[in-house]
Amino acid sequence: MLKWGSLVTATLVLAVSLTSCATPNTNSSTEGGRSATASGGKSRLDIVKERGELICGVDGKIPGFSFVDETGEYSGLDVDVCKAVAAAVLGDASKVQYRPLDSTERFTALSGGEVDMLSRNTTWTLSRDTSVGLEFAPTTFFDGQGMMVPTNSNIADLKAFQGKSICVEAGTTTELNLTDNLRKAGVEAEISTFQQADQAYNAYLEGRCQGMTSDKSQLLARRSKFPNPDEHILLDVTMSKEPLGPVTINNDSAWFDVVKWVTYGLIEAEEFGIMQANVEEMLESDDPNIRRFLGVEQGLGEGIGLEDDFMVKAIEAVGNYGEVYDRNLGEQSTFNLPRGQNDLWTNGGLMYSPPFR
């Protein structure tokens, strides 16, 4: 009996030493870099370059932002941001793999490394920036939360929702703002939360809820796909500030810098008047700011690990911010949304890029 006992102990000791040996091994491989990913020590930038493809998390169901058409092509403002980043990093805007994500799975997909970045109507908030562990690139669309009701419903403000129900998508800031606003207005309303936006809009259209709340732009975009868009109006209430923009993982500043500066670059290009059509001519420009921006002189690319002409590639692919906006949401689109606060700072809007130098 004693012999068996000692045998078991010996094996256990061996086992423990084996596992404790295994631990430092994995340790050294992950501690190498500042990366936040499970792929071991590398920045997302290197991973994207090696893979030769950018994996971009989008919504996929909001016309104007990201929408899949009949041919399976993605289009929209959020999609154009993905394309711009892919063009800047890989030199080819078509090397993007889009990953449609609903609002509750987006952050897990990002932190798990399933996608390289989100370009998915994500509101920039303090807690997401800190405790959720995200990094917010510049805002690409300034929005506010609105409320849609059927035109014939006689609902004019939030107070009219006493005892009624409101549909909302789960896991959004919308959900939180709605609760706050109802509390401020002293209204007791039932809030029906749905996992997917499709289900929420479906329930609203079936009359399950008397109101549907989301970001205003999203409500307008969704309404355009309703069977009878005229039967629904947006109330004149704005419940929150919703700065929407691309998102990357925390603690990967090399990759964050790329996404951040490509996004800024689109805004800066509009300010410089550089467009998809004239970017080639602009390479000959005498303006030192433009020459620097396009990488003709004093290359800026090295600092963020890209070619000097990364902005040329991005602009060739999607144009400047104004062009992206007009094509997807503005004059050239079916929505014809006025630029409003999404105009350049020089025109009284909020779009402002730090200098490229």
Contact residues for other proteins, defined by CB under 8 A: 4, 7-8, 11-12, 15, 18-19, 22-23, 26-27, 30-31, 34-38, 103-104, 107-108, 111, 127-128, 131-134, 163-165, 170-171, 175-176, 178-180, 182-183, 190-195, 199-200, 202-203, 206-208, 249-251
**In the complex with other proteins, which residue's Cβ is closer, 132 or 277?**
132
State whether residue 122 is helix, strand or coil: strand
Q: DSSP string covering 187-249, please?
A: ---EEEEESSHHHHHHHHHTTS-SEEEEEHHHHHHHHTTSS-GGGEEE-S----EEEEEEEEE
**In the complex with other proteins, which residue's Cβ is closer, 9 or 97?**
9
In the complex, least distance from residue 40 CB atom to other proteins, rounded to whole angstroms: 10
In the complex, least distance from residue 132 CB atom to other proteins, rounded to whole angstroms: 3
**In the complex with other proteins, which residue's Cβ is closer, 239 or 344?**
239
In the complex, least distance from residue 170 CB atom to other proteins, rounded to whole angstroms: 5
**In the complex with other proteins, which residue's Cβ is closer, 12 or 156?**
12
In whole angstroms, give the CA distance from residue 169 to residue 167: 7
**In the complex with other proteins, which residue's Cβ is closer, 110 or 329?**
110
In the complex, least distance from residue 20 CB atom to other proteins, rounded to whole angstroms: 9
Instruction: Supply the angle between the helices 253-272 and 321-328 in degrees, to the nearest 10.
Output: 80
In the complex, least distance from residue 43 CB atom to other proteins, rounded to whole angstroms: 12
Burial 194-221 (b: 16+ CB within 10 A, else e): beebebbbebbbeeebbbbbbbbbbbbb
**In the complex with other proteins, which residue's Cβ is closer, 12 or 350?**
12
In the complex, least distance from residue 69 CB atom to other proteins, rounded to whole angstroms: 25
Q: Decide: residue 21, CB within 10 A, 0-12 exposed, 13-18 middle, 19+ buried.
A: exposed
**What residues contact 189, with CB distance under 8 A and at least 6 apart?**
161, 162, 163, 164, 165, 166, 182
